[in-house]
Structure formats: C-alpha cells, structure tokens
Amino acid sequence: MAHLLVTGGAGFIGSNFVHHVVAHTDHTVTVLDKLTYAGNEASLAGLPEDRVDLVVGDIADAELVDGLFEKADAVVHYAAESHNDNSLHDPRPFLDTNIIGTYTLLEAARRHDTRLHHISTDEVYGDLELDDPARFTEHTPYNPSSPYSSTKAGSDLLVRAWVRSFGVRATISNCSNNYGPYQHVEKFIPRQITNVLRGIRPKLYGKGENVRDWIHADDHSSAVLTILDKGEIGETYLIGADGEKDNKTVVELILQLMGHSPDAYDHVTDRAGHDLRYAIDSTKLRTELGWSPTYRDFEAGLAATIDWYRANEAWWAPAKDGVEAFYASKGQ
C-alpha cells in the first residue's frame, strides 16, 4: 500500500485515474487541485473518504506542495491548463501552471527524493501528414505548434533535465486524445454530444479532415498505473490505442448514434495553427511493460460516453452556456 499525491485529480483524466487507483489497488490518494473552471469536485463523488482526500490549491504554491510531498510515496502529475483553443486566446495561465507549476513539483521531488510520474501529450511532437506512414515514437523530435503544446513540451524538458542533473526519480508518458465520461464540454466529443442534446448543430473546425488518435480514459489510467509500477526511471512511454479517426467521421458517428442525420452539422472557422494529424506507436509500453488497451471498439465506447452525458446533465450543464458563448465569439 502506498500514498499517492495526484495533481489535477479533479479534472477529466486525473479523476479517472483516482477512480482507477481506488478500484484496482489499496493505495490512498491525496488530490491537489486548484479547481479551475476545468476542475470539478463532483467528478470525485462516491469515492471512500478514508482512501481519498482533496486539497484545493495551486501546484505553483511551493510551501503547500512541500508539505504534501512530505507525506507522499509517489506523485502523479496531471494538473495543467489543457485546452488548445484557450491557449490561443490567453496563453499566460498555460505558462504559470504547465511550466512554473511543473518546476515547483520538480523542486519538491528533488528535496524529498519522491518518485514522480509526469503526464504529457502526443502534441509535443507536432503533427503528421495525413498520408505519412510514420507514427510518433519516443524518438520523434519535439516540434509543438500551440501555446498549450509548447508549454507541455517545456514541462517535459524540465522533467528530463531534473532527472539528469539532479537524479530526480521521474518517468514521463505522452498520450493521445482521450474520450469518456467527465470530460469538459469545451472539448470536441463532449461539445458535440451536448450540442445535440441541447438541439444545437455540431461544429466542425475547417473541413474536418484533421485526425486524432482516440483512446478511452480508462485505458490511459491503466497505462499510467503500469508505468508507475514497472516503468524505468528516466524513461518516456507513449500511450495510444490505435484509434485514428478524422473529425468528420467522429461527428457523423455521434449524430448517427444519437438518432440524427449524419450530415446535420456545421463547418465553422478553423483553429489557428490546427495540427493535422496525431498518431501514436505504443510498442515500447506494450512490449517492455506488458500493457494493452481494453477498449478496442470506438463506436461502443462512444455510445457509452453519449449515454453518460445523457444521464449526467447536472454535471455538465453549468459550463455549457459559457463555453458556447466563448466559441460563438470566435466564429466557432
């Protein structure tokens, strides 16, 4: 049994990980989360109080972080500003949290010699052409496009430097696009599902030809737990589930699964600098650590996600109008 500190554990993927840890281990967890617009205490509802507690605070608060590291056997670092569109509008919080916040955690890990796992994204590698047979691997050069992905790339490089220069016991994972319950309605899949539920037509950026490599959040969590248990210090692992789909296909599938005509969507203003395609080769994680995904049927996973949003309007409704007003102001 161990005590884990999970930063960003009230967000989409972090809360999924906390549920996963409670279900599959006997570890206890402290969540450190600032509860920004993206954090939601309700995503942790139902977890046993003797196993999980929530500390509301900022990962860039060195004193708070220091006290929490003192009690933790390991730290899993999810906290971030995570949305590309927001980073194009106001990059500053991305620098504060993704760069300074990660630096603050690394300094605490160094002081306390704490095992740290850093959660990152495939976006650090930039994008691929649609017909490129290559996929991202651990050896692909960093080439981020957006303020969001460049701050995530910066945070990865800080982790690597703290491993090499100070002997911090850290690992990194870079995962592809997650889907599943509890994802904020600003993101592509929940935005379109909740649009349909609200009688609004789904919105596709540009031509909709951009490709994302979808993985269910449960599979991301099982991969992170595997790396925490068996990963080699200083190593990077790519996490993906061979789920490449273009955005047009995903919107059409959502409409079809929700009983609407597959062409009942609008094309809207494209995202500035929009990455064309992400694709992950997760051979290293699968062969060296023995991980594999359990969700192999995207349509079934998407249908279950739609059911979750249908049943949990109280969770997402408070954010919906504000998000749509923001997008409308950008012509999206």
Residues that bind ligand NAD (CB under 6 A): 7-8, 10-14, 32-36, 38-39, 58-60, 78-82, 97, 101, 119, 121, 152, 175, 177-178, 184
DSSP assignment, residue 242? S
Beta-bridged to residue 277, according to DSSP, are 211
User: Which one of 33, 58, 123, 218 is in contact with ligand DAU (CB under 6 A)?
Assistant: 123
Q: Which of ligand NAD, ligand DAU, none does residue 39 bind to, with CB < 5 to 8 Å depending on kind?
A: ligand NAD
- E strands in 2-152: 3-7, 28-33, 52-56, 74-77, 115-121
Q: Which stretch binds ligand DAU (CB under 6 A): 80-88, 100-108, 126-134, 295-303?
A: 80-88
Which C-beta is closer to ligand DAU: that of 84 or that of 97?
84
171 contacts 301 by C-beta, under 8 angstroms: no
- From 78, 103, 125, 148, the catalytic residue: 148
**DSSP reduced 3-state for 178:** strand
Which C-beta is closer to ligand DAU: that of 83 or that of 320?
83
**DSSP per-residue letters across 66-98:** HHHHHH-SEEEE------HHHHHH--HHHIIII
Q: Which of ligand DAU, ligand NAD, none does residue 13 bind to, with CB < 5 to 8 Å depending on kind?
A: ligand NAD
171 contacts 232 by C-beta, under 8 angstroms: yes
Has 288 been annotated as catalytic? Answer: no
Q: Which stretch binds ligand DAU (CB under 6 A): 24-32, 104-112, 203-211, 252-260?
A: 203-211
User: Which one of 142, 205, 308, 326 is in contact with ligand DAU (CB under 6 A)?
Assistant: 205
Q: Which of ligand NAD, ligand DAU, none does residue 255 bind to, with CB < 5 to 8 Å depending on kind?
A: none
Q: Look at residues 77, 70, 69, 74 and name the one whose alpha carbon lies nearest to residue 7.
A: 77
Relative orientation angle of helices 298-311 and 313-329, to the nearest 10 degrees: 100
In terms of C-beta distances under 8 Å and separation of at least 24 residues, what long-range contacts does 310-319 make, across chains too?
A: 310/197, 312/181, 313/197, 315/40, 315/42, 315/43, 315/182, 316/185, 316/190, 316/194, 319/37, 319/184, 319/185, 319/186
Has 186 been annotated as catalytic? Answer: no
Task: Report which residue type is found at 136.
Answer: F
Shortest Å, Cβ 57 to ligand NAD = 7
Instruction: Report the sign of the C-alpha dihedral through residues 42, 47, 49, 55, in that order.
Output: negative
215 contacts 183 by C-beta, under 8 angstroms: no
The residue number whose beta carbon is nearest to ligand DAU equals 121
Shortest Å, Cβ 151 to ligand DAU = 11
Asked if residue 83 binds ligand DAU (CB under 6 A), the reply is yes
Residues 19-58: x/- map of binding to ligand DAU (CB under 6 A)?
----------------------------------------
- The footprint of ligand DAU on residues 221-280 (CB under 6 A) is 247, 271, 278
116 contacts 106 by C-beta, under 8 angstroms: yes
Q: Which of ligand NAD, ligand DAU, none does residue 17 bind to, with CB < 5 to 8 Å depending on kind?
A: none
- The footprint of ligand DAU on residues 134-173 (CB under 6 A) is none
CB atoms within 10 A of CB 320: 19
- Tell me which residues are annotated as active site: 122-123, 148
The residues of the shown chain that bind ligand DAU, judged by CB under 6 A, are: 82-84, 121-123, 176-177, 187-188, 191, 203-205, 210, 212, 247, 271, 278
